Amino acid sequence: MAEKVYVVLGATGHVGSPVARRLAEARRPLRVVARSAAALAAHADAEQLVGSVEDPELVRRALDGAGAAFVQLPPYLGPGARAWQDRVAGILADGLEAARVPYAVALSSLGAQLASGTGPVAGLHTLEERLGRVPGLSVLALRPGYFFENHLSAIGVVRSAGFYAGALAPELRMAQIAAADVGEVAARRLLALDWRGREIQELHGERDVTPVEVARALGAAIGKPDLAYVQLSYADAHAGLVQAGLSEEVAALYVELARALNDGRIASDEPRSPATTTPTSIEAWAREVFARELRAG
């Protein structure tokens, strides 16, 4: 009997791309899905589908015949962002159920156990709940900490103003992680298919770090070792996000996320362990990714 296909939704993103790459290296039958045909060209040996997870028919076609799938809610900055997340979570769950997919790894987040008050993370709570109700599906929810890639949004301010600004408290020590490390874990678990029913795995990164330590690492990577971190009020952070092009609604969601992190409502539920710790440090990521992106911009 032919081996069932692995499906990776969002295969060109920060997490999905390394998932697809590792599955291809393991020579698994692979179907990759993303909105950009040009970006999918990087996965030349896989079956490619171009489209959006907003399209129920596309999702059903993508998952047809799948033995396992990697699923996620892509970033969405348009109107009705939270309603959009909930609708797409339903589309993904319906697609997995219709295709009778036995295994799925879902990209979630620390804080996804909370139904509200966490900004965009609340959409991942919905995703976990919807997938958990799919008959016959064994779903592994990966809950990583704060992505290092979120710091790429600081490039403009770092370049123009010479400091890093945000709404997080300067000494807030929290789990932060490289997206590629999350992809590596997702691929490893997909290759193993070593869970049954509903499982949650937190991912805490190489170590917990503060915004001040992040700014120091970013600065060292770009030749500015004294790069400072400046905490913004929630009102100023909201205004800055709107000025950067986000809608009032989406800006409010991201400020709500910062408030939930500052207040400790989004935090690890389990202690750090070898299973939750990943290899990439903020210093290594800053040198390899942040500095490159700053130069490219």
Task: Report all structural domains of the chain as residue ranges with CATH numbers, in order of start.
Answer: 5-146+178-203 (3.40.50.720), 150-172+206-267+279-296 (3.90.25.10)
104-124: per-residue pLDDT in tens?
999 999 999 999 999 999 999
What tokens does 123 get?
């959409």
245-268: per-residue pLDDT in tens?
999 999 999 999 999 999 999 999
123-141: per-residue pLDDT in tens?
999 999 999 999 999 999 9
Q: What is the pLDDT of residue 3?
A: 76
The residue with greater pLDDT, 1 or 197, is 197
pLDDT mean over 203-208: 98
Q: What is the pLDDT of residue 292?
A: 96
> How far is the C-alpha of 139 from the C-alpha of 135, rounded, in Å?
11
> How far is the C-alpha of 88 from the C-alpha of 72, rounded, in Å?
9
Q: Look up tokens 């929290």; give the residue.
A: 174
Q: What is the pLDDT of residue 2?
A: 56
Q: How many CB atoms lie within 10 A of CB 229?
A: 22
pLDDT level of residue 210 (50, 70, 90 thresholds): very high
Would you list the DSSP string of 27-53?
T--EEEEES-HHHHGGGTTSEEEE--T
